[in-house]
Amino acid sequence: MTEHVVPESLSEFWHKTVLLDEAVDALAITGVRADGIYVDGTFGRGGHSRKILEQLGSNGRLIAFDKDPQAIATANTIVDPRFEIVHDSFATLAAALQERNIDKVDGVLLDLGISSPQVDDASRGFSFRADGPLDMRMDTTRGMSAAAWLAVADEQIIGKVVRDYGEERFSIQIAKAIVAGRAIQPISTTRQLAHIVASAVKTREKGKDPATRTFQAIRIFINKELEELEVVLDQAFAHMAVQGRLAVISFHSLEDRIVKQYMASKATMPQPDRRLPIRAVDLPQPQLKLIARVKPSDAEVAANPRARSAIMRVGERLPGKLGEQA
């Protein structure tokens, strides 16, 4: 039924999926749920999607999303009637489900951040470790590149982006250096930007390149990563069947904070004034059960150092009110 062949042309920059077994196990695809509808919001190179398809029943369905054209090319090699890839952000989840007349799904998996192929391919501009065009777009077919944005952005805006999305204490100095640098020549390559940032950062964190936080910040901003995460959490929850699972893998504190706070808000309800005559059936009920917080094992981190910062949070949809059924 399923053919999972990766063409040689697509395997040059291969991705080692983080928390592969743990993430798919968290979706609890067993029994009648094996014939349910699942969403992989971040296909990447398909590690999680392929594992989900192995566990799906013959009537199951998997809808995956990705903005990256290279990820879409990989997804198109999967020949399986239960699988569909959507070339768009996971923030379009609600619209995609509506187009397919789907009201509820049984599980949503989000593996946030960027993939190893995106980092390792210098032509994508995500990394300062090799020189390449300063692009940073996950979807290279649309939107403004990092170079184009840095060419026109106001100094205060650059500083705010670097501060808020990179948690960089030298954000003001970096913004000034970028504006001064672009006045001399356009900042069009990753190495140019890395050198400018290094000149503005006076003290360096042990074991971390001074450009790390700035590159992270600009990438997050260019791709609207945090805004789209907030959107998809709401949409996923709104379309989650009772007992459906939401599993989210984050790789830095900004993402994880959003996920943690969102899940906590759904897992707790404000307590009413005990002096008021309220029936038990009318009391607010938690909408989400916090299932797990999972980090990679020592063995996984040893085999894949990029997994070291990963945190997965898992929640299960509860009835919205007493007596509600799946």
Between 50 and 285, the more confident residue is: 50
- Domains of the chain, residue spans: 3-116+225-317, 140-222
Binding-site residues from annotation: 46-48, 66, 90, 111, 118
* Spatial separation of the C-alpha atoms in residues 133 and 225, rounded to whole Å: 21
Burial class (CB in 10 A: 0-12, 13-18, 19+), 323: exposed
Terminal alpha carbon distance of the chain: 30
- What's the whole-number mean pLDDT along residues 198-210? 85
- What's the whole-number mean pLDDT along residues 225-243? 98
Q: Give me the pLDDT at residue 268, please.
A: 84
Q: Give me the pLDDT at residue 117, please.
A: 82
- What's the whole-number mean pLDDT along residues 200-219? 89
Superfamily of structural domain 3-116+225-317: Vaccinia Virus protein VP39 (3.40.50.150)
For 169-192, what is each residue's pLDDT tens digit?
Answer: 999 999 999 999 999 999 999 999
What percentage of the chain has pLDDT greater than the value 90? 78
Q: Give me the pLDDT at residue 205, please.
A: 76
Query: Do β-strands 311-317 and 288-294 pair in parallel, antiparallel, or remain unpaired?
Result: antiparallel
Q: Give me the pLDDT at residue 274, please.
A: 62
**Eight-class DSSP state of 125:** -
Tokens 């840095």 belong to which residue?
A: 150
Q: How confident is the model at residue 276 (pLDDT cuts 50, 70, 90)?
A: low
HEC-encoded secondary structure of 212-267: HHHHHHHHHHHCCHHHHHHHHHHHHHHCEEEEEEEEEEECCHHHHHHHHHHHHHHH
- What's the whole-number mean pLDDT along residues 20-45? 96
- Flag the least confident range among 2-6, 15-19, 80-84, 130-134: 2-6
Residues in the chain, how many?
326
For 304-323, what is each residue's pLDDT tens digit?
Answer: 988 999 999 999 999 865 44
- Flag the least confident range among 27-31, 113-117, 234-238, 309-313: 113-117
Q: How many CB atoms lie within 10 A of CB 195?
A: 16
**Eight-class DSSP state of 245:** E
Q: Give me the pLDDT at residue 283, please.
A: 59
DSSP reduced 3-state for 86: strand
- What's the whole-number mean pLDDT along residues 17-21? 94
Work out the mean pLDDT of the chain and round it to a whole number: 90
Binding-site residues from annotation for S-adenosyl-L-methionine: 46-48, 66, 90, 111, 118
Q: Give me the pLDDT at residue 155, please.
A: 98
Q: Give me the pLDDT at residue 202, please.
A: 80
Q: Give me the pLDDT at residue 207, please.
A: 74
CATH architecture of 140-222: Orthogonal Bundle (1.10)
Residues near 317 by Cβ (< 8 Å), separated by ≥ 6?
237, 240, 241, 242, 243, 244, 245, 246, 287, 288
When mean pLDDT is compared over 232-246, 274-288, 295-309, the highest value belongs to 232-246
For 98-132, what is each residue's pLDDT tens digit?
Answer: 999 999 999 999 999 888 888 888 999 999 888 99
Q: Per-residue pLDDT for 195 more than 90?
A: yes
